[in-house]
A and B are shown apart, each in its own frame.
Chain A
Amino acid sequence: EAAVTQSPRSKVAVTGGKVTLSCHQTNNHDYMYWYRQDTGHGLRLIHYSYVADSTEKGDIPDGYKASRPSQENFSLILELASLSQTAVYFCASSPDWGGGDTQYFGPGTRLLVL
């Protein structure tokens, strides 16, 4: 079974503060993704990466940065946290077998911005 872990599992942040969410996978997968989950919006892609030291913008990248220092690690950075960024954040990984590959999700991080 694929293994994706996230830290922290929950966090309370202040508006304007910096938040870093971390993700680690032991699947040897090429692709990693960051999603946010909100009621009424489903899962929306923020950033993704297919190789270390390279990241790509997803559908809602504004207000977020991403970093992939190694194949195993992928971070999501909120430089100036805002109330609207309160959500549950999921990291996922997938192999690259030519399309339609399953994404394996981490347990999620619940972020509350006050």
Chain B
Amino acid sequence: GDSVTQTEGLVTLTEGLPVMLNCTYQTIYSNPFLFWYVQHLNESPRLLLKSFTDNKRTEHQGFHATLHKSSSSFHLQKSSAQLSDSALYYCALSGNSAGNKLTFGIGTRVLVRP
């Protein structure tokens, strides 16, 4: 079945420095949708960005990611971390349209320090 592998555990950053969270996936489907969801403390997950198109950069709220089918990757990046970026980040995959089912990675917790 589908699977998603993310940077594990806690990533601690200094405010103002760049952020990069790794995400790779496995699926038998040739046209998957990839997502990044973000969950702040005591909140529910919400969509940060998503992509379907190979080699096209997708941006939202200062974050960006590019789906690379050749390497099965969808890394999340931001040029300058803010304190408010401290949260749990999930990479997710939808391998086909039936059921819109998502397979999530285990999540990466990000802590941004002053």
Contact = CB atoms under 8 A, between A and B. Distances in A.
B30 interface: no
Interface in A18-47: 31, 33, 40-45
Contact of B100 (A31, A41, A59): A31
Interface in A40-69: 40-45, 48, 50, 56, 58-59
Interface residues of B, number: 23
Nearest to B52: A100
B46 interface: yes
Contacts, number: 58
Contacts of B83: none
Interface of B: 1, 33, 43-47, 50, 52, 90, 92, 94, 96-97, 99-107
Given A99-B94, A99-B96, A100-B33, A45 B45 contact: no
A31 B99 contact: yes
